[in-house]
């Protein structure tokens, strides 16, 4: 019976280790779910974050308990064997002592686990609300002919009548045909001159309801005026992304009047004014690295690595933010003040008042519209940068043959002058992260790196005058031969 408490404690340690392994299992399950459901809702995104936090706390708590329980086994064995006739220590050989030890250690780790949760403070900065009055939403009237409708479901027979405003479909099928098609404009840029788009060019980054509206090679009526002249032109478009979501990222372009002061989009005789910005003609550095929108961002260690590597090799980070831990945000703002990065606040489309029914665009587009953000970055720097890279925060590129990105990319294009992009494969790496900024060390980070031999789907670096839009990994409109 002397060993029975030890057996109980060892069983508890095994259980704690199993609980700790759930973290790796949950990561794989979440990754599988995200790969199979790229259009999942934003509420699901936050639910996934909560799951990761809870499972992470269980892992950390299990590891702490396992460590102390292992120590308790050593102490029990030592005391019982060394003092076999001691009545006090003899009680340690009873099963009840194992119960008190296990419960006591688990209770003692609860405050530490609670303190771990306090590190999370998530805030949303500059949401850039879009209102109908600001004309960033365009409603395109469509008429569905009999040939376009294939089932009673699509005809909405015996379905409840539609009301203005947000529609909720618990089935997540989102196949219902609406009386009005919606085009949500994320950004519009004006180019007085452009090497690829021509003079007085207009480029629109949008998301379009692709169930209601045939988005392939669609055209849009754009009206430009400068106070003395007005011109209506036809904007041709191209889509990006995987066509599995209700909304599809679209880039449309056309040419308008010189020195345009007002832009409108026209549909069925109705005009809606759309705000626009002047495209950039200067860039902080010749190589711009567009970082996809950061959602509940907390991994400041990766940011520190990326921002200094990019600066060392002549790159400038343009980072899109959706939500971020406040202390991390303040760190980014300091790097922005120092000129290392540019922060951009990615639009979450919200409406003060709607006159027609619509499905939530933020929840029904691929990966929170990452492709739209990358296209927006491309359109911003199209005339300003020599090369543009489209990366995630954890995609860190080290030039292999030359001391700077500019020289590395220029050498690649010297070998293939007609190329539109260079594709870089990716390898995953693990490292031991510092808990505080004062403990952060590049030397220690590099020394702790463990690399995977597997090369995963990569990202592209492009010549912006040969690219008009992009997806997460590359453009669907790119000729594979180039």
pLDDT in tens, 400-426: 899 999 999 999 999 999 888 888 888
Considering only residues 90 and 26, tell me which one the structure prediction assigns the higher pLDDT. 26
Q: List the single range of 61-70, 137-146, 188-197 with lowest mean pLDDT.
A: 137-146
Is the CB of residue 27 less than 8 Å from the CB of residue 428? Answer: no
Identify the helix (H) or strand (E) that includes residue 29. Answer: helix 4-36
**Domain coordinates of the chain in residue numbers?**
4-120, 132-278, 287-466
Q: What is the mean pLDDT of the chain?
A: 79
> Within 10 A of 293 (CB to CB), how many other CB atoms are there?
24
What is the mean pLDDT of the segment spanning 281-287? 96
- At 150 the pLDDT is 38
Concatenate the DSSP letters of all residues of 50-94 into one string. Answer: HHHHHHHHHHHHHHHHHHHHHHHHHHHHHHHHH-TT-HHHHGGGS
Lowest mean pLDDT among 140-154, 204-218, 285-299: 140-154
- Which of 314, 365, 374 lies closest to 344 in space, CA to CA? 374
Six-digit token pair at 24? 């790796």
Question: Could you read off the pLDDT of 354-405 as tens digits, one per residue?
Answer: 677 777 777 777 777 888 899 999 999 999 999 999 999 989 999 989 999 9
Whether residue 442 has pLDDT greater than 50: yes
Find the farthest-apart pair of alpha carbons in the chain and give their distance in angstroms, rounded: 106
Per-residue pLDDT reduced to its tens digit, 19-61: 777 777 887 787 777 666 666 666 676 677 778 777 877 788 7
Q: Enumerate residues 6+ apart whose C-beta is below 8 A from 74.
A: none
CATH code, 287-466: 3.90.550.10
How large is the average pLDDT for residues 95-119? Answer: 75
pTM score over 0.85: no
């Amino acid at each position: 019976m002397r060993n029975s408490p030890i057996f109980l404690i060892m069983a508890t340690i095994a259980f704690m280790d199993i609980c700790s392994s759930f973290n790796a299992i949950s990561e794989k399950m979440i990754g599988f779910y995200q790969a199979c459901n790229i259009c999942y809702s934003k509420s699901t995104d936050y639910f996934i974050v909560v799951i990761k936090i809870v499972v992470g706390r269980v892992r950390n708590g299990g590891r702490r308990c396992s460590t102390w329980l292992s120590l308790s086994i050593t102490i029990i064995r030592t005391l019982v064997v060394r003092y076999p006739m001691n009545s006090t220590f003899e009680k340690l050989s009873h099963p009840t002592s194992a119960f008190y030890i296990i419960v006591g250690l688990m209770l003692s780790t609860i405050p530490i686990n609670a303190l771990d949760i306090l590190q999370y403070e998530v805030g949303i900065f500059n949401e850039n609300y879009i209102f109908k009055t600001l004309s960033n939403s365009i409603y395109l009237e469509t008429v569905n002919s009999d040939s376009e409708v294939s089932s009673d479901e699509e005809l909405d027979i015996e379905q409840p009548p539609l009301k203005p405003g947000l529609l909720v479909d618990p089935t997540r099928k989102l196949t219902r045909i609406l009386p009005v098609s919606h085009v949500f404009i994320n950004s519009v840029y004006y180019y007085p001159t452009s090497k690829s788009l021509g003079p007085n060019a207009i480029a629109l980054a949008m998301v379009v309801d692709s169930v209601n509206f045939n988005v392939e090679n669609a055209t849009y009526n754009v009206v430009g005026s400068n106070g003395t002249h007005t011109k209506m032109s036809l904007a041709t478009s191209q889509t990006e992304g995987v066509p599995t979501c209700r909304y599809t990222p679209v880039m449309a372009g056309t040419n308008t009047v010189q020195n345009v002061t007002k832009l409108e989009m026209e549909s069925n005789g109705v005009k809606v004014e759309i705000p626009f910005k002047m495209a950039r003609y200067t860039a902080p550095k010749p190589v711009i690295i567009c970082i996809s929108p950061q959602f509940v961002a907390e991994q400041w260690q990766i940011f520190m690595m990326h921002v200094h590597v990019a600066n060392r090799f002549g790159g400038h980070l343009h980072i899109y933010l959706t939500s971020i831990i406040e202390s991390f945000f303040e760190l980014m703002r300091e790097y922005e003040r120092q000129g290392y990065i540019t922060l951009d606040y990615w639009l979450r489309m919200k409406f003060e008042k709607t006159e027609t029914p619509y499905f939530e665009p933020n929840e029904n587009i691929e990966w929170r519209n990452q492709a739209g953000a990358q296209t927006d970055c491309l359109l911003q720097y199209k005339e300003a940068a020599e090369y543009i890279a489209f990366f995630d925060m954890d995609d860190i590129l080290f030039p292999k043959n030359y001391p700077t990105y500019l020289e590395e990319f220029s050498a690649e294009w010297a070998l293939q002058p007609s190329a539109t992009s260079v594709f870089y494969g990716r390898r995953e790496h693990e490292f031991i992260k510092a808990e505080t900024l004062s403990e952060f060390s590049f030397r220690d980070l590099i020394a702790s790196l463990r690399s995977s031999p597997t090369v995963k789907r990569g990202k592209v670096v492009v010549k912006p005058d040969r690219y008009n839009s992009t997806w997460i990994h590359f453009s669907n409109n790119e000729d594979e031969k180039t």
